[in-house]
């Protein structure tokens, strides 16, 4: 049997908002978030909350951030989301307090079943626990849970569960050493 994309059907998937809300968000995302010329952090937070995101105090969202569905996003207090981060949250993304998601990181909640002839869509949530740091150009895959204060080093790919206070590196990221905070 071979892949037959004409059989692809993701009618089961529900984004969690009306079509009108999705269209409005599409343009708001382009002009206020993906744009690198709109630096007003407090207004960005207000807009995200208006679209259903839960955003903690003192959260920083840098220019160039792309968020698929804000109503499926939770960010804790004092967290930073760096330039050109893409939160492709087909499922819920939970970012804890005091987290850093560095430049160019990609949080992916969706994938496809490559064993299925129709290439079926699969979604799973992502949890990034308090104090965790996702380094620049990292990829966090569907279903990943990053433990408290864990570090994912630059360019790494997080799969599965990363234990608290672990430093992880590589593709697939593996435990390198224990993180100590002075």
Q: How many domains does the chain have?
A: 1
Q: Is residue 12 part of a domain?
A: no
Q: Is residue 130 part of a domain?
A: yes
CB 169 within 8 A of CB 153: yes
How many C-beta atoms surround the C-beta of residue 116 within 10 A? 15
pTM for the whole structure:
0.94
Q: Provide, rounded to the nearest whole percent, the portion of the chain with pLDDT above 90.
A: 93
Q: Is residue 11 part of a domain?
A: no
CATH of the domain at 24: 2.160.10.10
Q: Which residues contact 125 (CB under 8 A, 6 or more apart)?
A: 91, 92, 93, 94, 109, 142, 143
Q: Is residue 1 part of a domain?
A: no
How many whole angstroms separate alpha carbon 177 and alpha carbon 129?
Answer: 18
Q: Is residue 6 part of a domain?
A: no
Mean pLDDT to the nearest integer, 146-163: 98
Mean pLDDT to the nearest integer, 136-161: 98
For the stretch 67-77, pLDDT in tens is 999 999 999 99
- Alpha helices of the chain — where are they, by DSSP H? 19-28, 41-50
Q: What is the overall mean pLDDT for the chain? A: 96
User: Residue 138 belongs to what domain range?
Assistant: 18-178
Q: What is the pLDDT of residue 40?
A: 81
Q: Is residue 5 part of a domain?
A: no
For the stretch 66-108, pLDDT in tens is 999 999 999 999 999 999 999 999 999 999 999 999 999 999 9
pLDDT at 58 over 80: yes
What is the widest separation between alpha-carbon atoms in the chain?
56
CB 109 within 8 A of CB 128: no
Q: What is the pLDDT of residue 131?
A: 98
pLDDT at 39 over 80: no
Q: Is residue 64 part of a domain?
A: yes
Residue 5 dihedral angles phi and psi, to the nearest 5°:
-70, -15
CB 147 within 8 A of CB 161: yes
Q: Is residue 13 part of a domain?
A: no
For the stretch 9-25, pLDDT in tens is 999 999 999 999 999 99
For the stretch 166-179, pLDDT in tens is 999 999 999 999 99
pLDDT at 64 over 90: yes
């Amino acid at each position: 049997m071979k892949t037959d994309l004409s059989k692809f059907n993701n009618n089961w998937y529900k984004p969690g908002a009306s079509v009108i809300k999705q269209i409005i968000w599409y343009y708001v995302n382009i002009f206020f978030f993906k744009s690198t010329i709109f630096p007003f952090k407090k207004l960005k937070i207000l807009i995200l909350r208006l679209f259903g995101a839960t955003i903690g105090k003192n959260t920083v969202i840098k220019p160039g951030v792309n968020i698929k569905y804000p109503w499926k996003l939770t960010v804790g207090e004092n967290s930073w989301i760096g330039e050109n981060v893409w939160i492709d949250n087909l499922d819920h993304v939970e970012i804890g307090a005091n987290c850093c998601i560095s430049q160019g990181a990609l949080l992916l909640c969706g994938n496809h079943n490559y064993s299925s002839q129709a290439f079926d869509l699969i979604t799973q949530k992502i949890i990034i626990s308090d104090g965790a740091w996702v380094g620049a150009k990292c990829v966090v895959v569907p279903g990943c849970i990053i433990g408290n204060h864990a570090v994912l080093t630059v360019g790494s790919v997080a799969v599965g569960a990363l234990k608290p206070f672990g430093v992880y590196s590589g593709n697939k990221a593996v435990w390198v050493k224990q993180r100590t905070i002075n």
